[in-house]
């Protein structure tokens, strides 16, 4: 089974670009299932109901989130019924710890965890959380989106759970790392990168971020207006022998 996992989707313009290109991307790459990280869809922070429905309309089977899971408070109204795995080590009962996805005769368990290094959120330990979850999971394949800032924490997590799950893929930094590998049949990448505006700082408008760094004037970041969209992620080829491939595509702005 070939799964396209799209990294953090930033801004609603990216949904329109995906709408135009997703079928062709699936065809070209022989994709059966599309998953994504959806924590930055609505104005760069969180996920509104309308955008959730639009992503579902593209055929995205499952979504993970991150530190911005509850940045749009309306998610509290729909997360319980949504095909979303929210960070399992958040100390809330809202939403699902595990999202089960059915494909043909197979069941995939999708799990999302938050790292604790440099993320100032009260969280349970991601190591202990997954350790306690695994005996209760019945699935053919287990995929974990580890949403964290520190590369060291992500790699340590990978070695701890290699051989116990089928994939551990990193999200949150929005910059793709060049370390996709398989160890003990567990696919891994430290960060799969983001899907969003190319001319940007991690998806945000460049001038505002520059002002922040140069003057200390701290205004809320806006999503970059650049119409050229970079799509980053990984393709997980899960079978007896699991494989991981890089996925990267730049959709240039239409010439007006």
Which residues are tagged catalytic? 68
Distant-in-sequence, close-in-space partners of 41: CB < 8 Å, separation ≥ 6: 9, 10, 11, 12, 14, 15, 47, 48, 51, 52, 55
* 176 makes contact with Fe ion (CB under 5 A): no
DSSP state of 135: G
Q: Which one among 4, 6, 8, 186 touches Fe ion, defined by CB under 5 A?
A: 8
Tell me how far, at minimum, the Cβ of 192 lies from Fe ion, in Å.
11
Could you tell me which stretch among 42-50, 60-68, 83-91, 178-186 binds Fe ion (CB under 5 A)?
A: 60-68
Q: Find residue 103's DSSP bridge partners.
A: 106
Q: Does 116 bind Fe ion (CB under 5 A)?
A: no
CB of 105 to Fe ion, least distance (A): 33
| Alpha carbon distance 42, 37 (integer Å) | 12
Q: Does 67 bind Fe ion (CB under 5 A)?
A: yes
Which residue shows structure tokens 């010439």? Answer: 255
Comparing CB distances to Fe ion, the nearer of 14 and 40 is 40
Residue 47 has φ and ψ, to the nearest 5°, of: -145, 120
- Determine the size of the site formed for Fe ion (CB under 5 A): 5
Q: 75 Cβ partners below 8 Å, 6+ apart?
A: 46, 47, 48, 49, 52, 69
- The reply to whether 197 sits near Fe ion by the rule CB under 5 A is no
191 belongs to the binding site for Fe ion (CB under 5 A): no
Applying CB under 5 A, does 66 fall inside the site for Fe ion?
yes
Name the minimum Å distance from CB 147 to Fe ion.
6
Q: Which stretch binds Fe ion (CB under 5 A): 46-54, 83-91, 169-177, 181-189?
A: 169-177
Distance CA 233, CA 9 (A): 10
Q: Contacts with Fe ion in 15-44 (CB under 5 A)?
A: 40
230 near Fe ion, rule: CB under 5 A: no
Task: Provide the 3-class DSSP secondary structure of residue 223.
Answer: strand
Q: Does 172 engage in binding with Fe ion (CB under 5 A)? A: yes
Distance CA 219, CA 83 (A): 33
Chain residues binding Fe ion by CB under 5 A are 8, 40, 66-67, 172
């Amino acid at each position: 089974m070939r799964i396209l996992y799209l990294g953090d989707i930033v801004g609603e313009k990216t949904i329109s670009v995906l709408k135009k290109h997703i079928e062709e991307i699936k065809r070209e790459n022989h994709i059966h299932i599309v998953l994504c990280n959806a924590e930055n869809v609505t104005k760069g922070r969180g996920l509104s109901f309308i955008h959730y429905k639009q992503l579902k309309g593209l055929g995205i089977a499952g979504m993970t989130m991150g530190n911005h899971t509850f940045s749009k408070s309306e998610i509290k109204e729909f997360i319980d019924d949504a095909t979303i795995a929210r960070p399992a080590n958040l100390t809330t009962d809202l939403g699902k710890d595990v999202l089960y996805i059915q494909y043909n005769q197979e069941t995939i368990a999708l799990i999302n965890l938050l790292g604790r290094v440099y993320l100032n959120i009260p969280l349970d330990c991601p190591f202990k959380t997954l350790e306690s979850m695994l005996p209760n999971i019945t699935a053919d394949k287990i995929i974990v989106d580890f949403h964290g800032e520190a590369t060291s924490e992500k790699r340590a997590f990978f070695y701890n759970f290699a051989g116990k799950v089928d994939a551990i893929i990193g999200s949150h930094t929005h910059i793709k790392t060049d370390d996709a590998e398989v160890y003990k049949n567990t696919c891994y990448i430290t960060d799969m990168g983001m899907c969003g505006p190319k001319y940007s700082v991690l998806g945000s408008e460049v001038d505002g971020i520059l002002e922040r760094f140069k003057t200390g004037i701290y205004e809320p970041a806006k999503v970059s207006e650049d119409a050229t969209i970079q799509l980053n992620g990984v393709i997980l080829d899960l079978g007896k022998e699991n494989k991981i491939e890089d996925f990267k595509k730049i959709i240039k702005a239409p010439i007006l």
